[in-house]
Amino acid sequence: MPFHAVIMMVHSLCFSSSHNDLPWNIRKFIHNKIHTVNFTYDLRNISPWSRSAWSHTDLNRLKQGRVGAQLWVAYAPCGSQHRDAVQVTLEQIDLIKRMINQYPNHLAFVNDSTTQFFLTLGTPFSVFRADCSDVDKPDVEPTHNGLSTFGKTVIKEMNRLGMIIDLSHSSRQTAMDAIETSEAPVIFSHSSAFALCNSTRNVQDDLLKLLAKKKGMVMVNFFSYYLTCSNKSTIHDVVGHLNHIKEVAGPDAVGIGASYDGINSLPEGLEDVSKYPELFSMLLASGMWTLEELKKLAGLNFIRVFQEVEKVSMRLRSESLPHEEHIRPEDIKDFISCRSVAKRDANNTLC
């Protein structure tokens, strides 16, 4: 199922990161009972967080890392598709909003271009609207050869609604179709450079150039397997991916994705959300980034994408009605028993 993310602010700080799976860990570890844990404490000292390689975030470390904006992921796993995905997604959105209410001195909800929602088109498994990145692996057959017909309709409706399109789990062809179809810039919220690690989750140079032409961006993932194609990496490898994307696509097309709390193999030097200042200090000291470029990397690029998405949405809302196309029955034929079907009564009235 798709990843949905809700943006929140951590007050009085300065960096922006696009992808954090803390809400899913809260579901896994404490079944969304957020009042049982104080998230201003250092979770490295609190079980079960202290025992998990997937735990890298708490409010105190976000403050240490000077994180000014964060996309919290309201994740529904692929196994929930055609089952309880809507329920799981709504529960996770509710959890995020309850977190904001519980920590009003730390968090605030935003939903315009201080603010927005975004949706990923792919997941680790292909869905009825698009192929995921796994189909780019050898001997894996695509389901849709990119975006399905309904997937292209989804893109158009997302443009109209003002939703940011995220391609991080999409196949290469899906990404190309989405970039071509979308009237607004798109993003890869947690991907890295294919030229440095040939993972199917990473972005090839020709796609980087195409993305830059459409004013989109790639936000670099810190997962070791997407940085070095191994379980070992360092902060220098992250710098390498940032430099490569900047060189190929330009300084307007790069951001920080990280994916903390959603990965279990991290670069040495970037072990948790408190380490962002070290990364920016290294980039500045390298002499390869100006202060203005670092400001763009830290969040201005993402805000620019927000603003462009909103401009497109405002125009399309004034020009067109919502898209009302249905999913083709053949695309979900294996799951048709899971759908309610409207019927007509004796007077030929839908009921």
Query: Would you say residue 193 lies in a domain?
Result: yes
In DSSP notation, 148-189 reads -HHHHHHHHHHHHHTPEEE-TTB-HHHHHHHHHH-SS-EEET
Strand partners, 73: 5
Phi, psi for residue 314 in degrees, rounded to 5: -60, -40
pLDDT at 344: 45
pLDDT at 118: 74
Query: Would you say residue 174 lies in a domain?
Result: yes
In the three-class reduction of DSSP (H, G, I as helix; E, B as strand; rest coil), residue 249 is classed as helix
* Domains contained in the chain, number: 1
Please state, in angstroms and rounded to a whole number, the distance separating the CA atoms of residues 116 and 317. Answer: 16
Cis peptide bond N-terminal to 48, omega within 30: yes
pLDDT at 68: 86
Q: What residues contact residue 89 under an 8 Å CB cut-off, 6+ apart?
A: 1, 4, 74, 76
The encoded tokens of residue 207 equal: 């796609």
Query: Would you say residue 252 lies in a domain?
Result: yes
- Contact criterion met (CB below 8 Å) for 269 and 235: yes
Mean pLDDT of each 10-residue bin along the chain, 351 residues long: 50 67 95 96 96 96 91 84 86 94 90 60 47 56 68 92 92 92 96 97 97 97 98 98 98 97 97 96 96 95 93 95 78 56 46 38
Q: CB-based burial of residue 21 (10 Å sphere; 0-12 exposed, 13-18 middle, 19+ buried)?
A: buried
Query: Would you say residue 343 lies in a domain?
Result: no
Cβ neighbours around 176 below 10 Å, total:
19
Please state, in angstroms and rounded to a whole number, the distance separating the CA atoms of residues 189 and 220. Answer: 7
- Contact criterion met (CB below 8 Å) for 185 and 216: yes
Query: Would you say residue 53 lies in a domain?
Result: yes
Full domain range(s) for residue 265: 3-338
pLDDT at 57: 97
Q: Report the CATH number that the domain containing residue 54 is assigned in CATH.
A: 3.20.20.140
Query: Would you say residue 328 lies in a domain?
Result: yes
pLDDT at 331: 65
Query: Would you say residue 351 lies in a domain?
Result: no
* Residue 15: closest CA among 301, 248, 235, 226: 301
Kindly give the interhelix angle for 172-181 and 205-213, rounded to the nearest 10 degrees: 10
Query: Would you say residue 268 lies in a domain?
Result: yes
Strand partners, 19: 258
Phi, psi for residue 193 in degrees, rounded to 5: -95, 120
